Amino acid sequence: MRTIAILNPFADYGRAGKKRAVVETALREAGMEVEVWLTEASGHAVALARQAAAEAEAVLAVGGDGTIHEVCRGLIESSHTAHLGVMPLGTGNDFAKMLGMARRPEVAARQLAAATPQAVDYGIVRWVEDGRAGERAFINNVGIGFDAQAAIEAFSFKFLPGMTGYLVAVLRTLRRWSGPRVRVTGVEASGNSASVLYEGRLLLVTVGNGVCSGGMFYLTPHASITDGVLDFCLVEHASHWRIMQVIPRALKGRHETEPEVHSGRIRTLHVTTDAGLPIHTDGEIAARNAQTIEIEVVPGGLSVLMPR
């Protein structure tokens, strides 16, 4: 199987680029015919993945969640079919956790060499921001509201090691979040028509194909990439004291019994607000002031190399 690995040298604060030789050696020793392409800027992996899909049977995303996000978008946009493989070299590696991929390149390479292709779900989010429409595919999750704003704030703290910067951004966002009013409707997994899921002031809505987001928050702990639906977690706006009680429980996926938390499985989700909300897709900022947001699942729409 001819394989092209798209490596983001800037992942994990530039440490991923220093591992290129290790990655190439590991893949070849595992018996994979591989060619490594390097990304040069944000968004470049989307174009590279479209090209790679036309030339190889498998395309590996080598980097963090942002790299996986861009490679997935390129494969989805391509008119060719290629399998997605993941070698985690990022900070959070949320989707790699969902697949059970090892952090060490040598182990991950052996996992990929023995992996089998499997059809998995992905999602599409569409929005209108100040009269302009946008659309983007996602593989792990979409965050709306507080967690998306924290992702925006986190760019100011990239100089801090590991997940420290994101935690600082969460605390900074907490001080500034106003709790805009929203109306949320959706078609649940067991239903055929839309129903109102929530009306009121919002902290966040996360729609997950995967279980983990932000590197450490298990907001949708029961999600599956092969069940044909998406999981959602909606948290009502609350006092800072209450939010600081709920956040630690979300680190272990134990937040769903809290009275401010609504969760379930959906096929589509629709959020409207007059105030405007930020959106992230797999941790990448998609919008900052969206007034309407629609999310839907694409069952079995992507082929992924699943480790045994």
Averaged pLDDT for residues 248-273: 96
Calculate the average pLDDT of the chain.
94
Mean pLDDT over residues 291-298, rounded?
98
- Listed by start position, the domains of the chain span 2-114, 122-300
Q: What is the pLDDT of residues 35-44, one digit of tens each?
A: 999 999 999 9
Provide, rounded to the nearest whole percent, the portion of the chain with pLDDT above 70: 98
Q: Would you state the pLDDT for residue 215?
A: 84
Q: Does the pLDDT at position 148 exceed 80?
A: yes
Calculate mean pLDDT across residues 162-180.
Answer: 82
Half-sphere exposure of 77 (CA within 13 A, CB side): 18
How far is the first Cα of the chain from the last one, in angstroms, to the nearest whole number?
18
Residue 160 has pLDDT above 80, yes or no: no
- Token pair belonging to 132: 């302009």
What is residue 192's predicted lDDT score, i.e. its pLDDT? 87
Mean pLDDT of 242-256: 93
Could you report the per-residue pLDDT of 172-225, keeping only the tens digit for each?
A: 888 889 999 999 999 999 888 999 999 999 999 999 999 999 888 999 999 999
6 vs 227: CA distance, rounded Å: 28
pLDDT at 151: 84
CATH number attached to the domain at 122-300: 2.60.200.40
Strand blocks (E) in the chain:
2-7, 33-38, 58-63, 83-88, 116-129, 132-138, 141-145, 181-188, 195-208, 230-236, 261-281, 284-306
* % pLDDT > 90, the chain: 84
What value does the mean pLDDT take over residues 135-157? 90
* For residues 129-141, average pLDDT: 97
Higher pLDDT, 171 or 120: 120
Name the fold adopted by 2-114: Rossmann fold (3.40.50)
Looking at residues 289-306, what average pLDDT do you find?
Answer: 98
- The strand pairing partners of 120, in sequence order, are 302
Question: What integer pLDDT is reported at residue 159 of this predicted model?
Answer: 64
Write the pLDDT tens digit of every residue in 7-46: 999 998 899 999 999 999 999 999 998 999 999 999 999 9
Query: Sorting pLDDT into bands at 50, 70 and 90, what band is 158?
Result: low
Q: What is the pLDDT of residues 86-113, one digit of tens each?
A: 999 998 899 999 999 999 999 999 999 9
Those residues whose C-beta lies under 8 Å from the C-beta of residue 219, and which sit 6 or more positions away, are 141, 147, 206, 208, 213, 233, 250, 253, 255
Cα 207 from Cα 69, distance rounded (Å):
15
One-letter amino acid of 94: D
Rounded distance, CA 152 to CA 174, Å?
A: 13
Q: What is the pLDDT of residue 172?
A: 86
Four-point Cα dihedral 242, 245, 249, 250, nearest 10 = 50
pLDDT, average across residues 146-155? 86
Provide the pairing of β-strand 230-236 with 195-208: antiparallel
